[in-house]
Structure 1
Amino acid sequence: MAANGDSFEQSQRRPGAKDKQNGKSTDSLLIDRRLRDKEERLSLVLWRRPVTTLHYFLLETLIKLKELTLKLWQRRGSVLLFLLVCSLFSVAYSTEGGHQEYVKYLEKKFLWCAYWVGLGILSSVGLGTGLHTFLLYLGPHIASVTLAAYECGSTNFPEPPYPDQIICPPGGGVDESISLFSIMSKVRLEACMWGAGTAIGELPPYFMARAARKSGADPEDEDYEEFEEMLEQAQNAQDFVTRAKLGVQHMVQKVGFFGILACASIPNPLFDLAGITCGHFLVPFWTFFGATLIGKAIIKMHIQVGLTFLDFDLDENWLSWIFEKVVLIMVCYFVISIVNSMAQSYGKRLQQQRHSEEKTK
């Protein structure tokens, strides 16, 4: 592993010395260096350099854990308060008494909401590489509730979290009209929590771009560099996707809250760049997050529930089999992506350290 790490660093040193010997200009040297650095980082993937990639992944994990520990120590007051609250809940949870009924109810509700918020976060994180959990989880859930409502003739079956099977109320028969609004009221909690999760998943790009704008953008950050190039070149671009991205950027920049709300309220694959756009132009946090939360958790949620209600007549067993296989593939993809990304992050640390050492010489 050490030998692979040395080859990575040595491959960075040799071309730089050769460029100086050729007498290239400073700008050319910087461009060449950035291209070489990027190419070397992208080579740190499991299927090309497995040993070095795993080695760097473990080292980056240790660094992240150390940084997290330092941040928690700096906020030790809040951490102690959080631990105190958790201790009180733990005592209430383990102590017998009449309050146990409410404790169990709150526990089920919390876990159920956390489950759907987590799926929503997975659906939006990763700048377009997120797991589409609406198609895999929320959509089928709405369809199963709709099918159960028509089968039972009522929506008066147990509230979530449901058992393995939705049990019809005793007596059966049609005692109410099944409509879009009755189904929507039955799945509103899950859909709202999922929408809130998708809004939370848009925060990392926002904070990244905001911090880069305030402190000076890192010229070697690919995500931020891609965004800057898009802003510079989209004016003369002819392709639809680039112009559509520019349109989203203009709407968010000029209209503000209502522009973000409009973009977040419709199924919009280009909304991935909205967080970077708002962070780049220093849009206030609550303007961005508030509009995103309202758009995704309320407006967009009702639209998607309505569309699912209109097209729920699906072979559930066939779909569930496909969903299981897709989920398994996507989970493997995300694990591999995380390992590669963290290894590349550590490789970038080595490059930055080497460049700093060169400047001091």
Structure 2
Amino acid sequence: MAEHVADCELPQRRAGSKEQQNGKFADILSPSERKQRDKEERMGLVLWKKPVLTLQYFLLEALITLKQWTSRLWQQRGTVFTVLVLFTLFSIIYSIEGAHQKYVQYLEKKFLWCAYWVGLGILSSVGLGTGLHTFLLYLGPHIASVTLAAYECNSVDFPEPPYPDQIICPPEQVAVEGSISLWAIISKVRLEACMWGAGTAIGELPPYFMARAARLSGAEPDDEDYEEFEEMLEQADTAQDFATKAKLAVQKMVQKVGFFGILACASIPNPLFDLAGITCGHFLVPFWTFFGATLIGKAVIKMHIQKLFVIITFSKHIVEQMVSLIGVIPVLGASLQKPFSDYLEAQRVKLHHRGGEGTPAGENWLSWLFEKVVIIMVCYFVCSIVNSMAQSYAKRLQQQKYSEEKTK
């Protein structure tokens, strides 16, 4: 009888312990289990699951971030005042009529054009949720359009950037067909590509400064990538999977080789380079060693490799071969080949279109589809920023809750 009573009480005790884990006695979980549970709760805070709560947390986190930036600007008020004075002087010079206006306007166009590509480069690598793949969406198509125009016009003498709404062949084409050189096209898009590469290098700075500040202060930063980096260092001797081994290889190269190791990692398309910034900050690599190698690697070496690949891919004879190969596909070949041929023909017409000559042929479904893909990717990028900031605020609440529990 006593044994039967004991057996009946056992499930009740287990249920009671489970309730304690979900209630105020949840601290019986190990720190790693608790961290994993909190991470899973934060990852579930997304717009398509909890839109109202996600937007609420996003706005609160945005207010906190704005307050922090305002405080930092106030601490650097001398620098801010100097910048405002210079901006005011430039505005006065800009508004005064005179012979200098053409130089001011030229500098303005160049500055805005460079700032546009630098901004796109920063968006590609800054790490706000997911990076906006601005090379595929903007720089790659721009290089491709310049390449197609150069081969069609047999010249690169169309307007200097920033271009008008459409690139137009020069009125007098003195060059013979086939005379356009690969180097001429590379030189034509060098400014945009280098500015974009410089932007990607700037986007790698936040992880570096975060890891460096954490190492100097001894405090644990509120960043999951840095926590993953420390866990990876702890498991360096027991790592088995390929991804961890690859990350460790990058970390060891950067740590041991220094400037040239960073340069090598930054000079090739490398999805693991995000780890280099954290590694350099953690091991207190000097700023100019890290940023100089990253800037040279991304804005000079890597960009010339990527430019060369796009230019060769979109050279006239290779494009024509690709379109002809599409027609070889059984059953669907002819139907798929026609829209690509129509698209290329529309681009050729655009290049020779002049003002007052009528409107060129409309775009086909390929250009329409590309525009929609760009819109979808930009919207997803914005949603990822909202989700990331909402999850950051949720992490603040979790840390505040734990600190209150420790004080009790």
TM above 0.5: yes
**Contact 1:248 1:274 (C-alpha < 8 Å) held by counterparts:** yes
1:8-43 Cα distance to aligned partner (Å, 9 max, x none): xxxxx97362246xxx4xxx5433432333233223
In structure 1, the partner of 2:22 is: 15
Return the match for 2:187 from 185, 189, 196.
185
Task: Name 1:166's counterpart in structure 2.
Answer: 167
- State the match for 1:222 in structure 2: 224
Match of 2:385 among 338, 346, 358: 338
Q: Which residue does 2:200 correspond to in 1? A: 198
Residue 305 of structure 1 is matched in structure 2 by 307
Counterpart residue identity of residue 224, structure 1: Y
> Is contact 2:130–2:384 with CA below 8 Å preserved after alignment?
no
Q: TM-score, normalised by structure 2?
A: 0.78
Counterpart of 1:138?
A: 139
List runs of 5+ in structure 1 lacking aligned partners.
1-12
Per the alignment, residue 278 of structure 1 pairs with 280
Q: Distance in 1 between matches of 2:379 and 2:95?
A: 37
Deviates further, 243-252 or 220-229: 220-229
How many residues align structurally?
Answer: 343
Distance 1:219 1:19, change over 3 A: farther
The alpha carbon displacement at 1:320 in A equals 4.1
Which structure's CA Rg is the greater one? 2
Contact 1:127 1:272 in 2 (8 A): no
Task: Name the CA distance, whole Å, in 1 between partners of 2:121 and 2:222.
Answer: 30
Per mean C-alpha deviation after superposition, the further-off stretch among 60-69 and 248-257 is 60-69
- SS of the aligned residue for 2:24 comes to helix
Tell me the secondary structure at the aligned position of residue 188 of structure 2. helix
**Match of residue 242 from structure 2:** 240
Question: Shift of the alpha carbon at 1:127?
Answer: 7.8
CA drift of 1:357 comes to 2.1
CA RMSD of aligned residues (A): 2.2
Identical aligned residues as a percent: 76
| AA partner of residue 18 (structure 1) | F
* Equivalent residues in 2 for 1:246-285, closer than 5 Å: 246-285=248-287
* Cα deviation, residue 217, structure 1: 4.8
1:92 partner SS: helix
Residue segments in structure 2 that go unaligned for 5+ positions in a row: 1-19, 320-339, 345-362
| Rounded Cα–Cα distance in structure 2 between residues aligned with 1:229 and 1:196 | 31
Question: Contact 1:16–1:33 at 8 Å: present in 2 too?
Answer: no
**Counterpart of 2:77?**
76
Report the CA distance between 1:216 and its aligned residue: 2.9
Instruction: Write the letter of the residue equivalent to 2:386.
Output: V
Greater alpha carbon shift after TM alignment, 336-345 vs 34-43: 34-43
What TM-score results when the alignment is normalised by the length of structure 1? 0.88
Q: Quick check: 1:252–1:260 contact (8 Å CA) kept in 2?
A: yes
Query: Aligned in 2, Cα 1:336/1:155: closer, same or farther, shift over 3 Å?
Result: same
**In structure 1, distance between residues paired with 2:222 and 2:67:** 24
- Report if the CA contact (8 A) 1:128-1:269 is conserved: no
Could you tell which deviates more after superposition, 278-287 or 209-218?
A: 209-218
Q: Distance in 2 between matches of 1:323 and 1:129?
A: 20
CA distance in 2, matches of 1:324, 1:100: 37
**Relative to structure 1, is the Cα distance of residues 220 and 67 closer, same or farther in structure 2, using a 3 angstrom cutoff?**
closer
Q: Kindly report which structure 2 residues correspond to 1:319-334, keeping only aligned pairs within 5 A, or say none.
A: 320-334=367-381
Secondary structure at the counterpart of residue 25 of structure 2: helix
Residue type of the alignment partner of 2:102? E
Q: Distance in 2 between matches of 1:220 and 1:86?
A: 36
Deviations 1:313-352 (A, max 9, x none): 4556676444322221221112211111111212222222
**Are the equivalent residues in 2 in contact too, given 1:252–1:278 (CA < 8 A)?**
yes
Q: Distance in 1 between matches of 2:129 and 2:394?
A: 24
Q: Which amino acid aligns with 1:247?
A: A
> Structure 1's 130 and 150: CA in aligned 2 closer, same or farther, altered over 3 A?
same
Using the TM superposition, give the Cα deviation of residue 301 of structure 1 relative to its aligned residue in structure 2, in angstroms: 1.1
